[in-house]
Amino acid sequence: MGHSHSHDHSICIETAIAEAERLCAERGSRFTDLRRRILKMIWQGHKAVKAYDLLDQLATEGGSAKPPTVYRALDFLMEEGLVHKIESLNAYIGCPHPGDNHVSQFLICDKCETVKELSSDELTTAVMNAAKQANFAIRRQTLELHGVCANCQRNREAA
Amino acid sequence: MGHSHSHDHSICIETAIAEAERLCAERGSRFTDLRRRILKMIWQGHKAVKAYDLLDQLATEGGSAKPPTVYRALDFLMEEGLVHKIESLNAYIGCPHPGDNHVSQFLICDKCETVKELSSDELTTAVMNAAKQANFAIRRQTLELHGVCANCQRNREAA
DNA sequence: CTGGTAACGTTATGCAATAGCGTATAAACT
DNA sequence: AGTTTATACGCTATTGCATAACGTTACCAG
Ligand SMILES: [Zn+2]
Ligand SMILES: [Zn+2]
Ligand SMILES: [Zn+2]
Ligand SMILES: [Zn+2]
């Protein structure tokens, strides 16, 4: 089950929840129990999570959630900048630095499925320049790089 | 119905079909009637086209196509590099320069829905540098910039 | 004309997302 | 406290996107 890049992941989860708590309080948004549970599920690892997997997990936990329940929670979490959608996977990933106003750029390993969020200034600048050159006013961007992460390159045999 | 950036679009279509013809012949791939018809439909404009719209059009043209028929044709066209999928729209767009080995970067106008394929060297370089810095081996990229195109910015009142 | 392969048709199903409506509940005001 | 209002949540149903699995046809090589 190992994370190759081993770390105490419970800290990731706790930090994410605490940050969410803080931001929502600050903004007067309601971080309800359902929303907290779903954010926690998304943070179970560093892989993107699918909506129907969340549904299944909710079902396991006793309740009887239906699709709109999950999608509404995801919409809320996205509006608050707590999670991002990975368009090329139809899946959702927790944002490691919510609050910062930032664009999302992702490295997605096709072997171990780990998703890493980038913040490359050079990349951001290049995007803005490309848009400027075409007189194009950017409102949002989808930037998803698929390939093989450093770990999976080392451990060739894995997966 | 106007293209704002008016041009003789029949030339776009003819060029695309001719190029497809040429490339497939060169490669020994079979550019069948169905595939040609679907490529033509996708090239009806510079907007991305949805799979089920293609289905509907095929139905109109008499036949009784089912989803797999369309998706297989799309898969073929994508493998040959003749069309690209826009992940953030679940839709498909013709490639204006198939044959060139290239990555795909798109400007997508949320007003008029026009999709423009970019080839920014600076952007390509920035992507590669970002990946290199993380020791990440890129295999494919999804780079879709949404916003408002130059035309739609001029014609504020439109749409 | 026979056997192989690729394309296409057909049926069915699975996963992704939303529509529309009703109910519960929490904040905000009187 | 009682009323109002907005928000969250539950539920049923439907739509949209995509593929599985299998059968049939077209075509080419031997
Ligand atoms: Zn972690
Ligand atoms: Zn990996
Ligand atoms: Zn054109
Ligand atoms: Zn436009």
Residue B3 is predicted with a pLDDT of: 47
Fold of B9-94: Arc Repressor Mutant, subunit A (1.10.10)
pLDDT of A5: 62
Task: Give the pLDDT confidence of A83-110 residue by residue, as tens digits.
Answer: 999 999 999 999 999 988 888 999 999 9
What's the token pair of residue A156?
Answer: 């060739």
d(CA A48, C1' C19) / Å: 27
Parse chain B into domains and list their residue ranges: 9-94, 105-154
- List, as ranges, residues 78-137 from A with C-beta within 8 Å of B: 87-88, 105, 107, 109-110, 116, 118, 120, 122-123, 125-127, 129-131, 133-137
Residue A17: enclosing H or E segment and its boundaries?
A: helix A9-27
The proportion of chain B whose per-residue pLDDT surpasses 90, expressed as a percent, equals 84
Query: Is residue A151 within 8 Å of A4, Cβ to Cβ?
Result: yes
Nearest to B52 by CA among B67, B68, B34: B67
pLDDT band at B1 (very low <50, low <70, confident <90, very high): very low
Confidence of residue A158 (pLDDT cuts 50, 70, 90): very low
Cβ separation of B135 and A120 shorter than 8 Å? no
Q: Which residues of A fall within a CB distance of 8 Å from B116?
A: 134
Q: Identify the architecture of domain B105-154 in CATH.
A: 2-Layer Sandwich (3.30)
Collect all residues of chain B within an 8 Å Cβ-Cβ radius of residue A87: 87-88, 142, 144
What would the pLDDT profile of B39-78 be if each residue is shown by its tens digit?
Answer: 999 999 999 999 999 999 999 887 779 999 999 999 999 9
Q: Mark out the alpha helices in chain B (DSSP H runs).
A: 9-27, 33-42, 51-60, 67-79, 121-133, 150-154
Q: Which helix (H) or strand (E) holds A142?
A: strand A137-148
Q: Whole-model pTM?
A: 0.92
Residues with Cβ within 5 Å of ion ligand 2?
A: A 109, 111-112, 149, 152
Asked whether the predicted pLDDT for residue A64 surpasses 50, the reply is yes
In terms of Cα–Cα distance, which of B142, B153, B141, B82 is closest to B114? Answer: B153
